[in-house]
Amino acid sequence: MSTADVNDQSSSVTSDLFLMDEYLDKPPFRIVLVIMTAGIITSLLPLLYLLNLPLSNEILKWSIILFSGFAAGLAARLILNNSGPGLQFAAAISAILVNLFILGWLTLNLIGFGWNPTDTLFSSLRWGAELLVAGLVAAVTIRAWNTFVPKIRIPSKPAKTENKTTIKQDNKPAATSQKKKSKKSGKSTGSTQKVRGRQTSQKKSSLREILVIPSIKRQTQVDRTSHSPIKTIEDRFLKMWEKARVYRNQLSKPLSKPNSSRLIKDRKPQMQAPSRIEQNNVRLIGEVEHRCPYCLEVVQKKDPRGIKVCPICQTHHHLDCWNITGMCQVPHQNE
Spatial separation of the C-alpha atoms in residues 136 and 36, rounded to whole Å: 20
Spatial separation of the C-alpha atoms in residues 78 and 72, rounded to whole Å: 10
Q: Which residues neighbour 309 within 8 Å (Cβ) at sequence distance 6 or greater?
A: 315, 316, 317
pLDDT at 267: 57
Do the Cβ atoms of 68 and 42 come closer than 8 Å? yes
Q: Profile the chain (335 residues) by mean pLDDT over runs of 10 residues.
A: 53 57 76 92 88 85 92 91 88 92 87 69 78 92 70 51 49 50 49 55 47 46 56 80 71 56 54 58 74 87 86 87 87 70
pLDDT at 299: 86
Do the Cβ atoms of 273 and 264 come closer than 8 Å? no
Q: Which long-range contacts (CB under 8 A, 24 or more apart) does 122-128 make?
A: 127/100
Phi-psi region of 211 (alpha: psi -120 to 50; beta: other; left: phi over 0): alpha
pLDDT at 209: 41
Q: Which residues neighbour 225 within 8 Å (Cβ) at sequence distance 6 or greater?
A: 231
Q: Can you give the chain as a three-state secondary structure string?
A: CCHHHHHHHHHHHHHHHHHHHHHHHCHHHHHHHHHHHHHHHHHCHHHHHHHCCCCCHHHHHHHHHHHHHHHHHHHHHHHCCCCCHHHHHHHHHHHHHHHHHHHHHHCCCCCCCCCCCCCCHHHHHHHHHHHHHHHHHHHHHHHCCCCCCCCCCCCCHHHHHHHHHHHHHHHCHHHHHHHHHHHHHCCCCHHHHHHHHHHHHHHHHHHHHHHCCCCHHHHHCCCCCCCCHHHHHHHHHHHHHHHHHHHHHHHHCCCCCCCCCCCCCCCCCCCCCCCHHHHCCCCCCCCCCCECCCCCCECCCCCCCCEEECCCCCCEEEHHHHHHHCCCCCCCCCC
pLDDT at 217: 47
User: How many CA within 13 A on the CB side of residue 200?
Assistant: 5
Question: CA nearest 139: which of 193, 74, 199, 189?
Answer: 74
pLDDT at 238: 83
| Total-model pTM | 0.41
pLDDT at 246: 72
pLDDT at 248: 61
User: How many CA within 13 A on the CB side of residue 149?
Assistant: 4
- Amino acid at the residue 34: V
Spatial separation of the C-alpha atoms in residues 139 and 315, rounded to whole Å: 127
pLDDT at 104: 87
